[in-house]
Amino acid sequence: MVVVNLSFAACGFLGIYQLGAVDAFLTHGHRLLSCLRACAGASAGALVAAVLITAPDKLEHCKEFTYRFASNVRKQKLGAMTPGYDFMLELRGGIDRILPPDAHLLASERLHVSLTNCSTGRNSMVSSFPSREHLIKVLLASSFVPLYAGVKPVEFQGQKWMDGGFTDSLPVLAVGRTITVSPFSGQQDVCPPHVGRRKLNLKLANMTVTLSTENIKRLNQALFPPPLLRMQELHQKGYEDALHFLRTEGWTQE
């Protein structure tokens, strides 16, 4: 049997695109999921991977939380960086409500989360979670962007950690084929197609993206979420791109 993994890119609020892709995998990708060994991700991608591994039944709940979270950030004068707004507290609340009581057991050795060590600047991949609280801290650490999300890094096991997207934004696992998902146009398996004649690719923290105006716009939207209608369009686009991949690769039974 073919062994596959799914990896989701660091992408801030564009994680809504990746939730759309997961929706397509759950709806049309039963053959792929039957071969799934593990999921990996960084930042928002790690959150999406955690949902797929531990709480696929909460996908709709996760989508609605993302819409509310984005709306709350848009309401702030300076977005997530507005004094008095606690980005990490709201994120933690969402994670806590979505993850089941045994999430750490379901995730152990099946979820690989990319982190960046604040002291060494090196990447670490975490796939063992002694407790549910430990899993939550790992997910929060992988999502912590200094200044944007606050000034205090997430601490556990005596060390400080920040967004895994700085050092490995799209982890590729050693065993099996890793299918990559990203809302940025590039060389990922599931991603928006590049529009335009010229195509210059850049490799950034293990993710190959196309240098384009559209990707620059997407980067801005990752940190400063667009209006609800655009978020819904991104979710639908993720669904369509993932479905196209499944059909092209012969993973559907249609």
Which among 7, 63, 8, 56 has a CA at the least distance from the CA of 231? 63
Q: How many CB atoms lie within 10 A of CB 215?
A: 19
Chain centroid, CA 132 distance in Å: 19
| Beta carbons of 98 and 65 less than 8 angstroms apart | yes
Residues 6+ apart with CB under 8 A from 77: none
Burial 236-250 (b: 16+ CB within 10 A, else e): ebbbebbbebbeeee
| Farthest-apart Cα atoms in the chain, separation | 52
Classify residue 89 as exposed, middle or buried by CB count within 10 Å of its CB (0-12, 13-18, 19+): exposed
Comparing CA positions, the residue from 129, 122, 116 lying closest to residue 50 is: 129
- Catalytic residue (one of 23, 163, 168, 189): 163
**Is 43 annotated in the active site?**
yes
Closest CA to 181 of 103, 232, 244, 122: 244
Selecting among 7, 43, 114, 142, the annotated active-site residue is: 43
Enzyme catalytic residues: 43, 163
